[in-house]
Amino acid sequence: MNSPSPVVLLVEGDILVRHPLAEYLPECGFTVFEASNGDVARRALTISTLQLEVVLADMTSEGSGFALQRWIKEQNHPADVIMAGSIEKAVDCAAGICHEGPALSKPYEHRLVLDHIRRALARR
C-alpha cells in the first residue's frame, strides 16, 4: 500500500506565481492546496482532515506572511512553515520568526522550493 503524499499549503496572492508552482509540486509527489491569502490559509489549517504538513507562505502578502506565521505558532499547528518574499526588509524581519530565517525569494525557482519542502519533511 502506498503512503499518502505529503500535503503542502501554498499561500500566495499572485495567481501567476502560485499556479505554476501548484502545478509543479504534484509532479514531485505532493498534494497541494492553494490559498490566495491568510484568511483562506487559516481556514485550511483548521480543517483537520487536510493534515497539512508544510506551509509555503509569501511573507509580504496581506495577512499571509508574518501574521500567518505567528498564528500558526499560537495554534501549535504541527505544519512546518517556509517563508518566501522579495523585499529585503521583510527578509530581515523573517529571520527572527522562522526556524532557519527566510528561505526563498521570488520569483520561485521550483526545484529550490522542492528542496526546502523535502528538508522540512525530513526534519519531522
The per-residue pLDDT for range 53-86, each reduced to its tens digit, is 999 998 766 666 778 888 999 999 999 998 887 6
Task: Report d(CA 90, CA 63) in Å as an integer.
Answer: 13
Taken in order 69, 23, 112, 119, is the CA torsion positive or negative? positive
Residue ranges of E strands in 7-117 = 7-11, 31-35, 54-58, 80-84
Contact assessment for residue 11 and residue 38, using Cβ atoms and an 8 Å cutoff: yes
Q: Averaged over 33-47, what is the pLDDT?
A: 93
What strands, in cross-sheet order, belong to the sheet with 31-35? 31-35, 7-11, 54-58, 80-84
- Residue keyed to cell 530565517: 101
Pair type for strands 31-35 and 80-84: unpaired
What is the value of pTM for the model shown? Answer: 0.73
Q: Specify which residues 58 forms β-bridges with.
A: 84
Is the N-terminal amide bond of 6 cis, ω within 30° of 0?
A: no
The per-residue pLDDT for range 85-103, each reduced to its tens digit, is 765 555 555 555 555 555 6
Task: Report d(CA 54, CA 7) in Å as an integer.
Answer: 7
